[in-house]
Amino acid sequence: MAAMAFLGVALAATPTSAQDATAGSRLYASNCSACHGANRAGIPGTFPALTDVNKRLDPKQIKERIRKGGGMMPPFAHLSEKDIEDITAFLKQ
């Protein structure tokens, strides 16, 4: 019984929203790469490169841009918060 209680506490303490860059890579490929390119190099003058986006925007700003869009970028309202966290983790690499 004590082992079950310990397991319950351990599971409760495990973060469920940990960022997953591997999942973010897949999400990037299906949602972002058409404009920003598979290698995140963008299209000069049209779509910005995302190779160094973490030098221009902090994680909160990146997430907000994904959620709400901006400029030519549409909002990606269909993505869950977890999806956005994962894409952000991928972009920070």
pLDDT by 10s per residue, the chain, length 93? 444 444 444 444 434 457 899 999 999 999 999 999 999 999 999 999 999 999 999 999 999 999 999 999 999 999 999 999 999 999 999
In a domain, 49, yes or no: yes
> pTM of the full predicted structure?
0.79
Say if residues 76 and 67 touch (Cβ distance below 8 Å). Answer: yes
Total structural domains within the chain = 1
Q: In CATH, what number is assigned to the domain containing residue 86?
A: 1.10.760.10
What one-character DSSP code corresponds to residue 9? Answer: H
* Residue 3 pLDDT: 46
Residue 73: which domain range?
A: 20-92
In a domain, 13, yes or no: no
Cα separation of 12 and 27, whole Å? 27
* Residue 19 pLDDT: 80
